[in-house]
Structure 1
Amino acid sequence: MTAEPTALTLLAAADELLAATRSTRVERRDNTQLEALALAVSANLPVLLWGEPGIGKSSALQQLADRLEVPMETVIASIHEPSDFAGLPVVGDDPATQGVPMAPPDWAVRLAKRGYGLVFFDELSSAPPAVQAALLRVVLERRVGSLELPPAVRVVAAANPPSSAADGWHLSPPLANRFVHLHWTHDPAVVARGLAGTWPTADIPRVDPRKSASALARARGTLSGFLTARPGLAHHLPADAEARGGAWPSPRTWEMALRLLTFGMASDATRPALSTALIGAIGDGAGLELVNYLDELDLPDPNRVLANPDAFQLPTRGDRQLAFLTAIVSAVQSNTTRERWEAGWTVLGKAVEAGVPDVAARAAADLAAMRQPAWPVPATIDAFIDILSLSGALR
């Protein structure tokens, strides 16, 4: 007579079947939004994933954490109190002299002990304004109570549009302006293939240290040239509440764009991924203008030009001239030697020969400020003598 299976035996069989449903494999597939997420995370910028419920925002982030081999702490923002992020006061033996420290929550302590990882704030748009206000310090200063999160901890959040969020709120402009906003979508073909047992994975951009110095110089020149031509885009707070809760240009988000552009130029990131990340930082209008500007700009490597300045031909367009000369100054500043400094003046001499010394005037002032007392004054400086005297650079 066969014995009836016990409840534990039945559950063990059920668990085995459940494990089989979770067993899948991955295949490499181009995924712009996942690559843009990886680029922003690599640049250590806070990222906010916008998308309807159930489309895979959390699973995409878990996949990224697995690829990076870092732990992930998930915090459901909508079910927490402001004190969970600002810290709970703990009275010590002598608060009058020692003060009252703010105790951090357990997830922050675990990340601090590890020294690296991802913290994922889910359901951000369902968090009331008081909780969003408490999160400001976590996102901007990376402090939770009295605890400072290590530099290697990345911050990512997810939100549903207020129309589909439970008790949804628009994000406050100060909080929204601290994120790179990525709009998450799903591909029905990917879902169908995933349910058949194969889910996609995308390459993570890899930074090439050999490109880093030139990338920063080119990025500085590009954004300086762009905002000189379009000063109205330096700061633009949208008029309606919904737009203010998304990406929009401000000095803070332009700094984020500088970091994204630097990482994009220093890595093997694709242009669509970089464009998506830039638009997510500064908004659709400014972002699309910047992307078009990048497509037309195509700045040469400033370090290569400094190695052989006599062979360089100055661009004919004024915006390209300004962007490139700014990049030259930034490159010299990153590694200031007499040879590179003198090569910078040779490049500025090209602007004088081209009849546009006014374009190079600001670069000349910056370059003159780097001069060491023992370095001789280059002949090219004569063309800028008046403006440099007014700026005090020749004192």
Structure 2
Amino acid sequence: MSIHILPHVRSADAAQLDIADDLLALLADTTTEPRTDTQLEALTLAVAADLPVLLWGEPGIGKTAALTQLAESLELPLTTVIASVHEPSDFSGLPIVGDDPAEQGVPMAPPDWAVRLVRAGRGLLFLDELSTAPPAVQAALLRVVLERRVGALTLPPGVRIVAAANPRSSAADGWELSPPLANRFVHLQWTHDHEVVVRGLGGVWPRARMPRLDPEKLTEAVAFARRAVCVLLAARPKLVHQLPTTETRRGGAWASPRSWDMTMRLIAFATAAGSSRDVLSQLIRGTVGDGPGFELLASMDRMDLPDPEALLADPMSVALPERGDLRQAVLDGVVAAVRKCPDRARWDAAWAVLVRAADTGAPDLVVVPATTLATLRQDNWAVPASIDRLTGVVSVSQRADRAADLVEAGR
């Protein structure tokens, strides 16, 4: 017995599919808007610097969607490769026996996605699910990520590499990244912003755009980046190479000569683009790790601090920092300079600096430097008249300290 489908029934079903397609198209019809997003800016800056980026985030957080939108904004063809479903030969190449292997060797044939990227000359290579790739695949990816080689092909300079991974706790059959592979990436923690998600589901997502590099600042940016990294490593040589002791931390950002070189590049790009401190912090800590990263950020803050000797030479000529911790560092440096080379003129000048600091900022910051500076006075040095302006500040602070001590003793 055969079953015949009536023509009008099939046409009605087909029409419903057409309507369903129209509805899906309306749901997919979204737009973008300029919006401050530090993690998106950090991603685009690292992509501009031509450094491999690895986005870490829980499943469903929007890593793939962000990469798709980034590729569209930059007008780059997106090539997605799921690392965990490929064999090592898909990245190192398949051996192809030629006419005379003894003379010509055995070339390694690249996969089709690599051939397409080379033909296009540019693109965004997205290595997804990296944390579920077994160790053998991770080893094959080393040359792809660092040397941009896939089999016998070399990816053109116009190809950028971005990867995504889930933490091992939420990855299906997840693996920790091997230290050599992890050290080749800029690691960015990808989180969701409630306002961005709500507005995006309403049809408007933030727009990714390349950083605007100032051509007038390029030379200055490179000099600043080199000085920032070299000043820290000269003072803290142990930071040059710090392989973490735990397997989990080895699979993230850690300090090595390679990652310091990447950090220097990111500082230069961030400086030329005028990026915020939050963006720079994400990039630096995502390259050398939190500990060395915070030390570098603190060192950079102090690179542009006023010279204590310049302040002692003319207390009114140099602007004091607005930030409390930086101002405190400057005042401590002035007192330390007087202690190192004490004389009456320098001692008087230091008091003038402290008075100026008390008049233009938080007065409590001068308490400790003033107390220390007072102990440096020699018997034949007259007390400057300006010190009277600090007497109230110091006495109030001392009374507050004594009151806090009494409260603590009562507890």
The two structures have a TM-score, normalised by structure 2, of 0.71
Which position in structure 2 is the counterpart of 1:283? 289
Deviation at 1:89, TM superposition (A): 0.6
Gaps in structure 2 of 5+ consecutive residues: 1-6, 310-340, 342-411
Q: Percent identity?
A: 62
Which position in structure 1 is the counterpart of 2:104? 98
Which position in structure 2 is the counterpart of 1:187? 193
For residues 307 and 224 of structure 2, the distance between their equivalents in structure 1, rounded to whole angstroms, comes to 15
Deviation at 1:202, TM superposition (A): 4.5
The Cα offsets for residues 145-180 of structure 1, whole Å up to 9 and x where unpaired, read as: 000011121111000001100100000000000000
Q: Does 1:52 align with 2:58?
A: yes
Q: Give the SS at the match of 1:48.
A: strand
Which position in structure 1 is the counterpart of 2:409? none
Q: Does 1:221 align with 2:210?
A: no
Task: Check 1:187–1:205 CA distance in 2 against 1; reply closer, same or farther (3 A cut).
Answer: same
For residues 266 and 177 of structure 1, the distance between their equivalents in structure 2, rounded to whole angstroms, comes to 25
Q: Give the SS at the match of 1:6.
A: helix
Picking from 150, 166, 169, the partner of 1:163 is 169
For residues 88 and 270 of structure 1, the distance between their equivalents in structure 2, rounded to whole angstroms, comes to 45
Deviation at 1:3, TM superposition (A): 5.2
Picking from 19, 38, 41, the partner of 2:25 is 19
User: Equivalences for 1:1-395 in 2 at 5 Å?
Assistant: 4=9, 5-298=11-304, 315-316=307-308
The answer to whether the 8 Å contact 2:77/2:124 transfers is yes
Which position in structure 1 is the counterpart of 2:344? none
For residues 255 and 316 of structure 1, the distance between their equivalents in structure 2, rounded to whole angstroms, comes to 31
For residues 213 and 114 of structure 1, the distance between their equivalents in structure 2, rounded to whole angstroms, comes to 32
For residues 175 and 48 of structure 1, the distance between their equivalents in structure 2, rounded to whole angstroms, comes to 11
The two structures have a TM-score, normalised by structure 1, of 0.74
Letter aligned with residue 278 of structure 1? I
Letter aligned with residue 15 of structure 2? T
Which range moved further: 266-275 or 15-24?
266-275
Deviation at 1:25, TM superposition (A): 1.7
* Root-mean-square deviation (Å): 1.8
For residues 316 and 145 of structure 1, the distance between their equivalents in structure 2, rounded to whole angstroms, comes to 58
Matched length: 303
For residues 198 and 228 of structure 2, the distance between their equivalents in structure 1, rounded to whole angstroms, comes to 42
For residues 203 and 135 of structure 1, the distance between their equivalents in structure 2, rounded to whole angstroms, comes to 28
For residues 183 and 99 of structure 1, the distance between their equivalents in structure 2, rounded to whole angstroms, comes to 44
For residues 189 and 209 of structure 1, the distance between their equivalents in structure 2, rounded to whole angstroms, comes to 34
Deviation at 1:58, TM superposition (A): 0.8
Letter aligned with residue 107 of structure 1? W
For residues 233 and 123 of structure 1, the distance between their equivalents in structure 2, rounded to whole angstroms, comes to 31
Q: Give the SS at the match of 2:278.
A: helix
Rg comparison, structure with higher value: 2
For residues 225 and 174 of structure 1, the distance between their equivalents in structure 2, rounded to whole angstroms, comes to 26
The Cα offsets for residues 323-345 of structure 1, whole Å up to 9 and x where unpaired, read as: xxxxxxxxxxxxxxxxxxxxxxx
The answer to whether the 8 Å contact 2:69/2:208 transfers is no
For residues 265 and 37 of structure 2, the distance between their equivalents in structure 1, rounded to whole angstroms, comes to 21
Structure number with higher relative contact order (C-alpha < 8 Å, ≥ 6 residues apart) = 1
The Cα offsets for residues 104-158 of structure 1, whole Å up to 9 and x where unpaired, read as: 1111111111111110000000000000000001111110000001112111100
The Cα offsets for residues 39-80 of structure 1, whole Å up to 9 and x where unpaired, read as: 100000010000001110011111111111111100000000
For residues 99 and 8 of structure 2, the distance between their equivalents in structure 1, rounded to whole angstroms, comes to 64
